[in-house]
């Protein structure tokens, strides 16, 4: 009897769930889908206003008046360097800053892709909806910000290396100058340690490559940053992420003329400080 009662309960629960599933489908179609369709059409109309303002000979006056009304009538402040779509959307949406920001980004992405206001609803659907477009913009911005930080770190490191005392001297057997290029800072040699003499033998030279330089400077930076965490719990985490270990770091320190952890950390602090200054300049 227990098994039969259990079976009946399962059937009953599933029947109730199926009814709710049908109701949910009707709800989504009636309220969510239709609401999205109406929203996308409205965004197309807002986009049309944005384009109209952009094309207007009185653009500056329109934007100024919108900003003044937002401030005087609604207590909403906007930045003078805000983009036109941002101001227009803010003026129309008004009360919800976050919503205005999201709508503005969607419209800016559409404009950048040469989408017309009439095409905007289909464009949003094809991209997976407003949230997907917003996330793609955020992801792209985060990537650019991260790329900019690494570029600043490489630039700062190049300056520090050029100011350092050389860790060694190389005398070439030929009168040929080392190869240089306009998009790199350094020259590149293929070297090997001579086990018999202990000297470093130069076996070849490489034509300068910005890809090689970028990777080399990033590896130097990563190793330097790892030294900054030496003696902390984060040290092993950084090492594991970048294929490093304490022996590699100590060899790196010795090779680069850092007599101890303190000297290496001082170099890293200078690198971080110089990079942060460049990051602030770019903000």
Structure-token pair, residue 2: 């227990």
Task: Estimate to the nearest angstrom the gap between the alpha carbon of 176 and the chain centroid.
Answer: 42
User: What residues does each domain of the chain span?
Assistant: 2-128, 143-281
Contact, 160 vs 271, CB < 8 A? yes
Q: Inform me whether the pLDDT recorded for 116 exceeds 90.
A: yes
Which pLDDT score is estimated for 31?
64
Higher pLDDT, residue 269 or 13: 269
Query: Is the entire prediction scored with pTM above 0.85?
Result: no
How far is it, in rounded angstroms, from Cα 235 to Cα 239?
6
What average pLDDT does the segment 247-272 reach? 87
Beta bridge partners of 190: 204
Least confident of 156-160, 218-222, 242-246: 242-246
pLDDT band of residue 82 (cuts 50, 70, 90) is confident
Q: How far apart are CA 277 and CA 281, in angstroms?
A: 6
CB 103 within 8 A of CB 50: no
pLDDT tens digits for range 171-187: 888 777 788 888 888 98
pLDDT for residue 120: 92
- Contact residues for 172 (Cβ-Cβ < 8 A; gap 6+): 178, 202
């Amino acid at each position: 009897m227990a098994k039969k009662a259990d079976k009946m309960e399962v059937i009953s629960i599933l029947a109730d769930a199926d009814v709710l599933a049908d109701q949910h489908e009707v709800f989504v179609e009636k309220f969510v889908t239709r609401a999205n369709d109406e929203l996308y059409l409205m965004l197309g109309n807002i986009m049309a206003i944005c384009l109209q303002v952009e094309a207007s000979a009185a653009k500056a006056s329109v934007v100024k008046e919108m900003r003044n009304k937002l401030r005087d009538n609604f207590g909403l402040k906007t930045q003078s360097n805000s983009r036109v779509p941002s101001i227009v959307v803010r003026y129309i949406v008004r009360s919800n800053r976050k919503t205005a920001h999201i709508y503005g980004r969607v419209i800016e992405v559409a404009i950048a892709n040469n989408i017309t206001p009439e095409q905007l609803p289909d464009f949003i659907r094809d991209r997976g909806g407003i949230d997907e477009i917003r996330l793609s913009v955020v992801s792209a911005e985060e990537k650019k910000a991260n790329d900019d930080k690494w570029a600043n770190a490489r630039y700062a490191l190049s300056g520090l290396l050029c100011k350092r005392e050389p860790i060694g001297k190389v005398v070439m057997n030929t009168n040929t100058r080392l190869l240089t290029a306009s998009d790199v800072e350094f020259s590149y040699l293929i070297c090997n340690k001579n086990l018999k003499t202990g000297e470093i033998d130069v076996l070849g030279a490489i034509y300068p490559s910005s890809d090689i330089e970028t990777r080399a400077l990033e590896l130097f930076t990563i190793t330097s940053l790892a030294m900054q965490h030496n003696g902390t719990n984060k040290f092993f985490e950084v090492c594991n992420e970048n294929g490093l270990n304490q022996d590699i770091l100590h060899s790196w320190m010795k090779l680069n003329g850092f007599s101890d952890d303190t000297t290496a950390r001082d170099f890293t602090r200078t690198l971080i400080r110089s990079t942060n200054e460049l990051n602030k300049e770019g903000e």
